[in-house]
Amino acid sequence: MAQMRHDSSTFFPAPQLVFKQLLGLMSEENGYMKALKCRECGREYPLTANHVCEFDFGPLEVAYDYDLIRNSLNREVISRRSNSMWRYRELLPVAKEPTVGLQVGYTPLVKADRLAKRLGIRELWIKNDTVNYPTLSFKDRVVSVALSRSKELGFDTVACASTGNLANSVAANAASAGLRAFVFIPADLEQGKIVNSLVYGPEVISIKGHYDEVNRLCAEIAGKIQLGLR
Ligand SMILES: [Zn+2]
């Protein structure tokens, strides 16, 4: 847009060209996302680092452009891609190619015949998400998305409140991505639980209070100084 404004004194492009430029700009900036939408009232918000509706405190979810996705994604395209969660990238809230946690997902299905028999069902498969990369937790999925998106939005610092797995994943993925990480934990958390996180070198802040209080404080601080993850 700055470029267009700059050029406008010497060159005024045809309306179709402006439209094409805007389309290109929107696609490049937002990928397949259209807006953030409140789950309670349906109000839409711009695609910024915001997670709560200012009218009713409802959670904001990502609204996708499914027509656009339909045109570029099908089973064949997915099957040609590498074996990670990112083979479904059009359906994930990132605008560009992901940059964090590229190997996450595509965990195996384990056939559980004896449990199936016990439950009285013909066939049962269990998703083994304990082999995710890099911290052996399903939290690696959400953290990969959150940190990829944080980098897109220009953040250099991320934070979370956690009592274990989320802290590990944020610390590990932030270290890998070159982001600064803050981990907020309850002060009475067992040391064994934070050793895993500490090896990745995050800033650990211990708070006197239970998890909900730690979580609220982390969210308030993140809102105040614009950290990339809550
Ligand atoms: Zn709302």
Tell me which residue has tokens 């399903």: 138
Q: What is the pLDDT of residue 159?
A: 92
CA of 35 to the centre of ligand 1 (A): 13
At 147, is the secondary structure helix, strand, or coil?
helix
H/E stretch holding 61: strand 60-64
Confidence grade of residue 19 (pLDDT, cut at 50, 70, 90): very low
For the whole model, what pTM was predicted? 0.82
For 29-67, write each residue's pLDDT tens digit.
Answer: 899 999 999 999 999 999 998 889 999 999 999 999 999
Q: What is the pLDDT of residue 70?
A: 93
> How many angstroms separate the CA atoms of 180 and 165, rounded?
18
CA of 56 to the centre of ligand 1 (A): 5
Residues 36/50, Cβ–Cβ less than 8 Å: yes
Q: What is the pLDDT of residue 214?
A: 86
> Does domain 85-225 match CATH 3.40.50.1100?
yes
At 202, is the secondary structure helix, strand, or coil?
coil
CA of 83 to the centre of ligand 1 (A): 37
Q: How long a stretch of residues is the chain?
A: 230
At 59, is the secondary structure helix, strand, or coil?
strand
CA of 141 to the centre of ligand 1 (A): 26
Confidence grade of residue 9 (pLDDT, cut at 50, 70, 90): very low
The whole-number average pLDDT for the span 161-189 is 93
CA of 36 to the centre of ligand 1 (A): 11
Confidence grade of residue 222 (pLDDT, cut at 50, 70, 90): confident
CA of 45 to the centre of ligand 1 (A): 10
Confidence grade of residue 223 (pLDDT, cut at 50, 70, 90): confident
For 95-127, write each residue's pLDDT tens digit.
Answer: 999 999 999 999 999 999 999 999 999 999 999
Which two structure tokens, joined as six digits, stand for 64? 């996708």
CA of 44 to the centre of ligand 1 (A): 8
Tell me which residue has tokens 């309306």: 15
- Among 75-89, 132-146, 207-221, which stretch is predicted with the lowest mean pLDDT? 207-221
Report CA torsion sign: 6, 12, 17, 23: positive
CA of 43 to the centre of ligand 1 (A): 6
CA of 137 to the centre of ligand 1 (A): 31
CA of 60 to the centre of ligand 1 (A): 8
| HEC profile of 83-114 | CCHHHHHHHCCCCCCCCCCCCCCCCCEEECHH
CA of 55 to the centre of ligand 1 (A): 5
Domain range list for the chain: 2-72, 85-225
Which two structure tokens, joined as six digits, stand for 118? 């016990």
Residues 9/67, Cβ–Cβ less than 8 Å: no
Q: Mention every residue, 6+ apart, whose C-beta is less than 8 A from residue 3.
A: none
Report CA torsion sign: 142, 144, 145, 146: positive
Q: What is the pLDDT of residue 17?
A: 36
Q: What is the pLDDT of residue 12?
A: 35
pLDDT at 18 over 50: no
CA of 52 to the centre of ligand 1 (A): 8
CA of 150 to the centre of ligand 1 (A): 23
CA of 62 to the centre of ligand 1 (A): 13
Helix residue ranges, H only, the chain: 2-7, 15-30, 66-72, 75-80, 113-119, 139-152, 165-177, 191-198, 211-225
